Amino acid sequence: MATPITHDRLGGIEVFVQAVEAGSFALAADRLNLTRSAVGKSVARLEARLGVRLFHRTTRQQSLTDDGQAYYDRCVRALAELQLAEAELDSGRCEPQGRLRVSAPLVFGRHCVAPVLRELAMRHPQLQVDISFNDRVVDLIEEGYDLGIRVGTLPDSASLAARRLGMQTMGIGASPAYIRAHGRPSTIDELKQHAGIVYAHAGVEWGWAVKDADGQVMSLRVQPRLRLDDLQAIADAAIAGAGIAWLPCWMLTHYVRSGELEVLMHGDRLAAQEVHAIWPQARYLPSKTRTAIDALAARVPAMLGA
């Protein structure tokens, strides 16, 4: 007689697969919202039940044994079928539920993503929302995210689906004190003569997307006085009079209204940036993901126009 498949057995399989795909018990624990100890114990119980070692483990790394690789391959196929069946059923639900893991850029995520998803979680008690704010390009599939937010042009991808949420317009501004001391630049050539506060991440400095006299987009390189990897820090430096800054209009407008910054250039003279929601391509979209995308699509455009 076949051994019945229990929830504990399936749970052990899911933890095992996550441990393989995450590359470590610690990362698997984060994805599953468990402790590292709980992941280790679950894998140990699975090995004891199967009577084989699934991992070669040292203090620095882990790798699959031959038995572990064979078992992993079968588990992935089995879980994929279960997930497809659950997603098919879930796609017809009105009430989103479960854990939704979202990756969003740091400042944009705080301003435009977190308020929307916070309200969504409050409206749907069975929905748990985890948001990670980070400006690096996150691999949604590799790192186990359900949804990501991207600002800028999307590369082609067969494994990801996308929905445009709106256009982020940009502006160049400086503090009144800086303008009094150094003058007000009004052309691209004049901007090049001023001290810039530029965004740089992972050693890469971002140029400012501006339009030339023919309307063609070009990357403007100013004299960088400060290189920072956080938009809020760039805005703070501009307010302090350290130089001119290229900022999203929803952010720049706030400081213009308070009198802390003045607009030097905006609108048609600068290129806007597309904003997208992206998610792993699948036959059925879970209701938790679909509901979040719809909520963002309804709210974000108005925020971008602030």
- First and final CA of the chain: distance in angstroms? 66
CB 63 within 8 A of CB 91: no
How would you label 180-197 residue by residue, b for 16+ Cβ within 10 Å and e otherwise? Answer: eeeeebeebeebeebbbb
Residue 7 pLDDT = 42
User: In the structure, what pLDDT confidence band is assigned to residue 88 with cuts at 50, 70 and 90?
Assistant: low
pTM over 0.75: no
Domain 98-167+273-305 fold: D-Maltodextrin-Binding Protein; domain 2 (3.40.190)
What is the largest distance, in Å, between two alpha-carbon atoms of the chain? 86
- For the segment 92-115, the average pLDDT, to the nearest whole number, is 89
Most confident listed range (59-63, 93-97, 272-276): 272-276
pLDDT surpasses 80 at 87? no
The structure tokens listed for 146 are 């359900």
* Residues in CB range of 216: below 8 A, 6 or more apart: none
Task: Give residue-wise pLDDT tens across range 209-268.
Answer: 888 777 788 888 888 889 999 999 999 999 999 999 999 999 999 999 999 999 999 877
Cα gap 108→304, rounded to integer Å: 10
- For the segment 193-207, the average pLDDT, to the nearest whole number, is 87
The structure tokens listed for 250 are 């929803």
How would you label 138-157 residue by residue, b for 16+ Cβ within 10 Å and e otherwise? Answer: bebeebbbbbbbbbeeeeee
- What is the pairing mode between strands 170-174 and 262-266? antiparallel
DSSP letter (8 states) at residue 110: I
Give the H/E segment covering residue 89: helix 66-90
Task: Give residue-wise pLDDT tens across range 149-180.
Answer: 999 888 878 889 999 999 999 999 999 999 99
pLDDT surpasses 70 at 91? no
Q: How many residues does the chain have?
A: 306
Residue 102 pLDDT = 97
Residue 1 pLDDT = 41
CB 273 within 8 A of CB 150: no
Task: Give residue-wise pLDDT tens across range 18-32.
Answer: 888 888 888 888 888
**170-266 matches 13-90 in CATH topology:** no
DSSP letter (8 states) at residue 266: E
- What is the pairing mode between strands 147-151 and 98-104? parallel
Residue 6 pLDDT = 44
pLDDT surpasses 80 at 11? no
- For the segment 175-204, the average pLDDT, to the nearest whole number, is 91
Mean pLDDT is lowest, of 10-14, 139-143, 190-194, for: 10-14
Domain 170-266 has CATH 3.40.190.10: yes
Query: CA angle at residue 138 from 93 to 18, to 5 degrees?
Result: 65
Extents of the domains making up the chain:
13-90, 98-167+273-305, 170-266
Domain 13-90 class, CATH top level = mainly alpha
Helix (H, G, I), strand (E, B) or coil at 228: strand
Task: Give residue-wise pLDDT tens across range 116-134.
Answer: 999 999 999 999 999 999 9
CB 89 within 8 A of CB 96: no
- For the segment 31-57, the average pLDDT, to the nearest whole number, is 88
